[in-house]
Chain A
């Protein structure tokens, strides 16, 4: 199993550009989520999904969109990048959508918005 994979590993954008961060898992996990990590702030939840076709907002959803058309994939879209979105983004997945289980994290995407 590859676990949770994320692409790209690094990305530089200009203000106003859009892009999609890819996330995929091969563990047949129901639950998937996106976090951003900023210095001194820990990780904060952006969006999450409890199954294909179901998504919901986390703590910091503004400026991001998600969709979950398959169990495996959970892409994160930045609609119009802003410097405040410079961060490290982590995708995570968990077997159960109803219990607080161990979450498996991807390697992260480091995004810089100029």
Chain B
């Protein structure tokens, strides 16, 4: 069965601290996609990144970086020098597989609430 685990329910940091959000996934498929979405207090879901299972290169986008490690089935998200505007719920998601291929059907983790204090 496919599953996404975000063990950290809530994290609280002080502004300018670095913070890492953990994501561990389970799948038997060789082709899959992983995603991170941000849900700010306003409630909408904002796409952050999509990574396929064949690309293990880490990615950096400004203060955001992602570490994908197939050996540990993890896709962790780090925010460097956190800011109050980073306060949100962050979801990790895995594309559900069907007939050997990845689909748009997403399996979400339960989310991590990040609170950045000024």
Interface of B is mostly: strand
Contact present for B106 and A45 (CB under 8 Å): yes
Q: With A102-B50, A105-B45, A107-B44 given, is the CB distance from A44 to B104 under 8 Å?
A: no
Contact at B105–A33, with CB atoms within 8 Å?
yes
What is the size, in residues, of chain B's interface with A at 8 Å between Cβ atoms? 24
A13 to B116, CA, bound (A): 36
A-contact bits for B76-117, CB 8 A (1 contact / 0 none)? 000000000000000101010000011111101111000000
Cβ of A53 < 8 Å from any Cβ of B? no
Contacts of A97 in B (CB 8 A): 104
Indicate if the CB atoms of A107 and B108 lie closer than 8 Å: no
Given that A43-B91, A94-B104 are known contacts, is A100 also in contact with B33, CB under 8 Å in the complex? yes
Quote the shortest CB–CB distance from A56 to chain B (angstroms). 9
Contact of B108 among A31, A43, A101, A108 (CB under 8 A): A43
1/0 per residue, CB under 8 A from A, across B25-58: the answer is: 0000000110101000001110100101000000
Among B44, B45, B95, B103, max chain A CB count under 10 A is at: B45
Q: What residues of chain B lie closer than 8 Å to A31, measured between beta carbons?
A: 104
In the complex, which residues of chain B have a beta carbon less than 8 angstroms from the beta carbon of A42? 4, 91, 108-111
12 A-B pairs within 8 Å (CB atoms) are namely A33-B105, A42-B4, A42-B111, A58-B105, A90-B45, A92-B45, A97-B104, A98-B101, A100-B32, A100-B106, A101-B50, A107-B43
Q: Which residues of B contact A (CB under 8 A)?
A: 4, 32-33, 35, 37, 43-45, 47, 50, 52, 91, 93, 95, 101-106, 108-111
Which 6 residue pairs of A and B lie closest in terms of their CB atoms, listed nearest first? A100-B95, A42-B108, A100-B33, A105-B45, A100-B102, A43-B108
